[in-house]
Structure 1
Amino acid sequence: MSASAGREPRVELRDFLRSRRARIGPEEVGVAAHPGRRRVPGLRREEVAQLAGVSVDYYTRLEQGRTLQVSAEVLDAVARALRLDATERAHLFDLARPQRTPGAGRGVDAAGPVGAGGPQLVRAGLYRVLDALDEGTPAMIMGRRLDVLAANRLAEALYAGFGAPEAGEGEADAPDRPRRNFARFVFLEPAARALFADWESAARAAVAALRFYAGRHPYDPGLSPLVEELAALDRDFRRWWAGHDVLEHTHGTKRFQHPGVGQLALEYESLAFPDDPDQTLYLYTAEPGSSSDAALRTLASRTGRRGRAAGAARSPAR
């Protein structure tokens, strides 16, 4: 299967629905299996149609992207039939009802509509927030395509080997340097494979998050080059991208084997900004009194306050 991104949503919809029905056996959902050898794994189209309460012809046209203006009721029925979780359901809706205009209904930043290709700018006030958290809370702002737009010094120290820019340097200061990207770090930086206690889980999550983003912004011109780069350089990325799994990073736990302070289990929470939903603040904390808390305090004491948070170009204060 091609690892390309930015394809027409109808193609992505077809591949996503095929991948979801392939993972469910008829016996799991109480569908009587047809006699004879099954040519495809999982459910057949007619079995999904039966479970969703629609005609086989209608479901076939939906899977092939030939049905326009699909109702929410039908999409919900298909989601239930395929046992989609909340993130997968949202992805289904994104693919079935794509936004033709990049950024439509999802906010506009100082550089123009989302997906227009201009750099995302981080407000000066948000850099001050990152600096204020530097005493003991790793924090970073992530943007389109898992680009890391800004991070405080403790986050830079936590993600050892990320290759932070010098203090005060931003995207405008180093135009020839590729924008720092979390997926690129996970797959292409050797340090990342040692940093994550379970690299495969972290890597698969990065692929799934990038796939979820692709459903929301299929016309982002920066998406295909990133996916093609990673697919060309890493076979695991190619394989997992073809699986069509999706994930939205809202909260969870990340486990590290840090070269300086050892094992850490940190919980993260994400906060999206209303004026630019494609910028998300991620905060990492440790259970008070735990060994991870002690390790994080040690890391903070070694990091110190060597200047302001580093990252992409800043937008002026308003």
Structure 2
Amino acid sequence: MFYTNVTRIKDFFIHGFPGLPPDYYGPVSVLLFVLYLAIAVGNILILVVVKCERFLHKPTYLIFCHLALTDLAFGTVTLPKIISKYWFNDSIISFYGCFVQMYFVHSLGAVHSFILMVMALDRFIAICAPLRYAVLFTNTTVSVLCGISWIMPMSWMVGIVLDALNLPFCDSNIILQCYCDHMSITVLACANVQALWLAAFGLAMFSLLLPLCFIIFSYFVIIVVVARISTSEGRTKTLSTCTPQLLITLLYYMPRCFMYMANILGFTFSLPVRVVVIMVYSISPAAVNPIIYCFKTNDIKENLKKTFFIRKINICAAPE
């Protein structure tokens, strides 16, 4: 255990997964490294495919790009440090580095949530007002809405971080988590942080519940509209256009809502279980989302098939 008696500590120590035996450090570091490669390769692939193919320059795919960018950034912010801990036994993160990581962890999570709301708006207009979709939801509209989704959380998180940065720290400097987040940092302060916790909690609920309420409302209206379609084939075809968006949304919100509901109902998890659950629901969507984009979106799937098929033909036809 590392402790400090000074009021301004120089470093934090990332604890990682509590109770993990040293014999498992190697396999865990390899698993996390493979996961990071999957996140990097998958999301960069989506960005490159959409960027290079002009027929994919549509609102839906631009939203996918923003989601892929948040997933890539979140994985890059959180995973390298915890990989370094288990691979090189490097648990130290600088004082200011920890606050920078906290800033991006929370701001990127909020950005992702608001972009999911933009994605729900895309499907809402496409299904409920299809004849006006091309006018109401242009690439410019998407860029503006996604830009606001980036700017708002990244602006208010500056205040939250500055307030936490001014707290005195005079006891333990161990982060009981795999990365620096608001709770794991402020709980180490030797000061009353109730007001800061309430402000951070309020903003977290705003960035989680406002998009979630709109998403639930929009899909409720979509279901009502689809139910009025006369043919089952038409209903199936219309709902299939929502499949990628719905899967991505459920993957992001369901684990978080489960954790919040469990806390409200009085269910408690041990620290090791809580750290693992938070790590899984924070990181796994970033690795799974590119798979959903590729296999549940016909335009991207067909483009990838065509690209690899042509490349395969060229390789086979190349002279020896």
Considering the TM-score relative to the shorter chain, is it more than 0.5?
A: no
* TM-score, reference length from structure 2: 0.25
Work out which structure has the larger RCO, using CA pairs closer than 8 Å and 6 or more positions apart in sequence. 2
* TM-score, reference length from structure 1: 0.25
